[in-house]
Structures are given as structure tokens and as C-alpha cells.
Amino acid sequence: MKKLNIFILSALTAISGSAMAMGGSIEQGKNFTNLNLEMGKSSSGLYAESNWLKNTDDGTQTGGVGAGYNVEVGPVMLNAGAKAIYIGPKKGDNGVAFPVGGGVNVALTDSINVFGEGYVAPEGLNNSVKNYVEANGGVSWTPVKPVTLKVGYRHVSVDGKDGRPNHTLIDGAYVGGGVSF
């Protein structure tokens, strides 16, 4: 079994042999800020990413790292991955979550894309809440490489446990921009 796992990992790495682009972006909503760094997210193959998200009203924040795999099918990029996230909602249920999920990015033109992604960590994949959910979707525009501008909607919430309430950490529209190399 160990040899099979090594073979599968080697095959996935070979398939993703193209150069991995790196990038960073910032998103600003009415009540939140999100910083994101990524490597390989815009091409087929393995990718890694990290982000820090803060609710500027109440200080709630999350931060984490993730990895996954992209598959490009014509103008559509599909991905699946997992993350390790620190949750700091300031409601007595600080902890970690390991959400799994994926997303889709559809190129409408050479410079305009629509995207969406979602991740969930049920009770067995976190230590402080019953359920962790995050979703993000929107439209991006690349007027000139390497700059990308985007608008979208982001939602992050948790279901409390041990008598703690359910609550929304982040929920709202945003504008953002980033660069990739």
C-alpha cells in the first residue's frame, strides 16, 4: 500500500509539472478583511494556499493553510482540497478545524472569470464547534497581467456545541485585487 501511495503522489506531481505561479490578494468587505497567498492555484496540478480573515467589527478571525489539486477541462478549472484553520470567534469556542471542499473557476473570456468554492468541517474534523462552513463566490477581471480585480460574496459560520450559540463570523460582499507571478 505504501508503494501505491508513493506512486500516486509521484504521478500527480508529474502531471502538475508546469511552473507554479505564485500570487497574493486582499479583499475588503464592509466588516471584514481577507489576505490570501497562493502557489499553483491558477494552473492544473497541486496547489497550496494560506489566508487570514478578520471581522473588523468584533475582532473575530480565522487563519489557515490549505492544499489541493486542480484539474483543467477546457475553460473550466475544478479543484478539491483540504485546509487547517484556526478559528478565533471570541465566543468561547476558539479552536481548529480541518475543512474539506472544492471549487470551480470558469473562464468566460481571456480576462473575465466566475468562481465559487465551499469548504465544510463537520464535528469530527474540528475540536471546538459542531460544524464549520465557508463559501466564497464572485467574478474576477484581469485587465493586464499580473493584476486581477474581483468582486464577490464571502460567508463563514460555525454551529456551536456544549451550549454555545451558532454564529456567523463573516458574511458579506467584498471588492479585492491581487497580483500573480
Chain position carrying cell 507554479: 20
Q: Give dist(CA 60, CA 93) in Å, integer.
A: 11
Q: Give dist(CA 83, CA 51) in Å, integer.
A: 10
Q: Give dist(CA 157, CA 176) in Å, integer.
A: 21
Q: What is the reported pLDDT for 70? A: 96
Q: What is the reported pLDDT for 7? A: 59
Q: Are 140 and 148 in contact (CB under 8 A)?
A: yes
Q: What is the reported pLDDT for 161? A: 77
Q: What is the reported pLDDT for 42? A: 87
- Collect the ranges in the chain with pLDDT lower than 70: 1-19, 90-93
Q: Give dist(CA 108, CA 76) in Å, integer.
A: 9
Q: What is the reported pLDDT for 1? A: 61
In angstroms, how far is CA 119 from the centroid of its own chain? 8
